Amino acid sequence: MPQYTDLLYELSGGIATITLNRPDRLNAISVPMLDSLSRALRDSDANRDDRVIVLPPVVLHTTDKPVICAINGPAAGYGMDLALGCDIRIAASDAKLAAIFTKRGILPESGGAWLLPRLVGWARAAEIAFTGRTLSAQECLELGLVNQVVAPEDLSKVTTALAEEIAANAPLAVQATKRMMRLGLEETFEANVHHVFLQLLPLFGSHDFKEGVQAFIEKRTPQFQGR
């Protein structure tokens, strides 16, 4: 298992869990941590056994593997941008997203300026970003910035359960779905339908497609292998 600085990495049941490990600084992002995070994500993306990635806030817009962000406590500035880059966000009830950029004389430099308007609409994004507002977990839920708000003691359990539900599906199909959703943000409906058809062709020839059909016929749970 590779060694990472200020980072913990665990793989179990197809779920790669990456944990920021700098408790003395409240897990504030450091240069060594960012380097480790980049390496861990590249390692996970290349590992066929990794089906779902669970981690604290991190930008993963270009990876095809689904990313669930577990937010426990404040995600401020860069941390908020990183959280927005994940596919699904689950927040503890005491978590916060803080768009403090304009209060520090900077702007959302890590994808937030692109992501926030797409998630909440232009007017709400403008209000949040221009004021440098801090949002409670409940406010984030109402705005659609997080999928769920749970008790802090339940965050790990709920996140893991969702990751297991996703990991039980055909990995190639899940990854292709994310890829087409991401592509669809920048292209017409007609172009996306064409690209989806091109994605279907190799999936029809995959072991997992045959296993899914056979499991349906036999009325059993499919056992997908990611090939």
In a shared domain, residues 92 and 194: no
Shortest CA distance to 111 belongs to which of 91, 90, 95, 125?
125
In a shared domain, residues 122 and 211: no
In a shared domain, residues 98 and 200: no
Q: How many domains does the chain have?
A: 2
In a shared domain, residues 20 and 73: yes
Helix (H, G, I), strand (E, B) or coil at 15: strand
User: At 207, which CATH number?
Assistant: 1.10.12
Report d(CA 74, CA 137) in Å as an integer. 10
In a shared domain, residues 191 and 89: no
Running DSSP on this structure, what letter comes out for residue 63?
-
| Residues whose CB is less than 8 angstroms from the CB of residue 71 and which lie 6 or more positions away in sequence, other chains included | 56, 57, 83, 89, 90, 91, 92, 95, 97, 137, 146
Report d(CA 203, CA 216) in Å as an integer. 17
pLDDT in tens, 179-218: 999 999 889 999 999 999 999 999 999 999 999 999 999 9
The per-residue pLDDT for 127 is: 96
Rounded to two decimals, the pTM is 0.79
Question: Given a cut of 50, is residue 58 above it in pLDDT?
Answer: no
| Residues whose CB is less than 8 angstroms from the CB of residue 16 and which lie 6 or more positions away in sequence, other chains included | 9, 10, 44, 47, 50, 52, 53, 54
Has residue 130 been placed in a domain? Answer: yes
Q: Which domain holds residue 179?
A: 171-218
Residue percentage of the chain with pLDDT more than 70: 93
The per-residue pLDDT for 21 is: 77
At position 1, the amino acid (one-letter code) is M
Question: Given a cut of 90, is residue 60 above it in pLDDT?
Answer: no
In a shared domain, residues 117 and 16: yes
Has residue 63 been placed in a domain? Answer: yes
pLDDT in tens, 32-47: 877 887 788 778 877 8
Average pLDDT, rounded, for the chain: 88
